Amino acid sequence: MSKICFDTKEYIVYQPYPGLHVVYHAKKVLFRGRSKFQRIEIIENEAYGVMLLLDGNLQHTEFDAHIFNRALVGPILRRGLKKVLVLGGGSGQTLKALLRSPSIEMVTVVEIDPLVVEACRHHIPGVNDAFEDPRAKLVIDDAFRFIKENKEHYDALILDLTEEWLGRSVGLEGLYRFVAARCGGRCSCYIGPVSPQTGGPGRRRRHLEAAKKYLKGLRVRRVFIPSFGSEQLFLYGGGL
């Protein structure tokens, strides 16, 4: 990242892709720390409310989380599914959105970074209550290792990983094979920004090439998220 003329104690500089910098004022720093996986920052901003950033990449804002959640979770809820597996989602936002549905009986969240979960439980409204819900099960593990070893069955899978993990091509076939075998062929996957500068077209192609070997009823949707400053890609399988 090139030199930015903002005090990093008071401002967070988010770079969605080369050439674009978005600066968020930290009215209040709620949490700032580093795990063995990433840098974690939770701030309060005048425009977007409580915000979560991992390694400087925006993950959640209080203001427009409903747009992201509707795109990711909406197809699952409209089908009235009961048992859902979430890969990633340590911020608790996907879990919160799922638990609002009376049809949900169990949500298993697989998150690699326990510090993300701890920080969000303490500093993002509603997250602690979501993880304390008896329908929620938290597993601290690598998502791709989990699906290799897990033998349970689910009604659907939600992929809610960070861009670093989404950029990997290794493990995608195993992911969609698991969806076909253990999740009824149904999935709702966040696959990252649309823009070529972030590798969007390549990521979309890799996910589709892997998914079409195992799943039917595939579709990709583009959704603009205001706080992200760009369109984001979501892939659905199994007719969702």
Percent pLDDT > 90 in the chain is 72
Nearest Cα to 12, choosing from 1, 27, 24, 4? 24
pLDDT above 70 for 2: no
| pLDDT value at residue 15 | 74
Whether residue 17 is predicted with pLDDT greater than 80 in this model: the reply is no
Spatial separation of the C-alpha atoms in residues 193 and 105, rounded to whole Å: 31
How far lies 237's CA from each of 37, 38, 223, in Å? 30, 30, 17
Query: What are the pLDDT digits (tens) for 104-136?
Result: 999 999 999 999 999 999 999 999 999 999 999
Q: If we measure between CA atoms, which residue out of 34, 54, 35 comes closest to residue 43?
A: 54
CA–CA separation, 175 and 159 (whole Å): 9
> What pLDDT score was predicted for residue 240?
87
- pLDDT tens profile 95-105: 999 999 999 99
pLDDT the model gives residue 195: 86
| Count of CA atoms in the C-beta half-sphere (13 A) of 134 | 0
**Mean pLDDT along residues 4-25:** 74
Is residue 8 scored above 90 in pLDDT? no
Q: What is the average per-residue pLDDT within 63-92? A: 94
How far apart CA 175 and CA 56 sit, in angstroms, is: 27
Catalytic: 155? no
C-alpha Rg value of the chain to the nearest Å:
17
Distance between CA atoms of 209 and 74, rounded to whole angstroms? Answer: 24
Share of the chain above pLDDT 70, in %: 92
Q: What is the pLDDT of residues 165-197, one digit of tens each?
A: 655 555 889 999 999 999 999 999 999 889 888
Give every CB contact of residue 205 below 8 A, 6+ residues apart in sequence.
Answer: none
Nearest alpha carbon to residue 46 among 84, 73, 12:
12
Domains of the chain from N-terminus onward: 11-61 (2.30.140.10), 65-237 (3.40.50.150)
| Alpha-carbon gap, residue 170 to 84, rounded angstroms | 23
49 pairs with which residues across the strands? Answer: 45
| Active-site pick, 7, 64, 113, 160 | 160
